[in-house]
Structure 1
């Protein structure tokens, strides 16, 4: 049985997406998953392992198999600060929340100086384009 409640969890920079937390192992994600998913085990140390489901993807450290990044996209309905979600137009949040385009990022990455551990991506370098996906990352 598939449960789509995982598509609406709160996004907390550097910490979690819904109930899924950075640092969890692959086994923990598989145990908690109430949805269909695909597991990709890498044969190369330079590439991470991953688990992908509808609108969410988990990236794992090659050696420890712990989550180092969670990315949400497409139909994910959860939000960061109750206003930043998939489809949000950057110009709608510019005044209350400061953000910066990441220099040299070919995927149109955007950081929030006041919030470490979160990166959003748009389709083009433009304040009037919607957010395409959101990633939380483990802070080192």
Structure 2
């Protein structure tokens, strides 16, 4: 059983971005979206008007929190060989109910891709606005960066 990364949250976040579960490169590096071809940091940087991709990892996280944006994964643990979401077995979701206590200002949960997006109804039922975004993964090559970015702008709405 693999265990995910610690959440990047604080009581002041109003938006939380949930991935599905860290890929092998991210687990090895103990950093969100560590695979060099994943477009997450470029997409989010463009949306927030911050040069996130060019910054050291710790500063990226500081900038997110300064903008009241958190980062986590929908799954706390799972079994998986490789990095593809299709290979996830025995998924164990995070305790979404504790978010009310940990992040009282949280109002919007954005999901990075369809796998994490499958949890959107759970969060919507808890009263959060939900937005399912196209995956930033290099495996999602059907959309161009510009097409993804147009949909990722929903983070700011």
Question: Larger radius of gyration, structure 1 or 2?
Answer: 1
Q: Under a length normalisation based on structure 2, what TM-score does the superposition of the two structures give?
A: 0.27
Instruction: Using CA pairs under 8 Å that are at least 6 residues apart, name the structure with larger relative contact order, 1 or 2.
Output: 2
Q: Under a length normalisation based on structure 1, what TM-score does the superposition of the two structures give?
A: 0.29
**The structure with more helix, counted as a fraction of residues:** 2
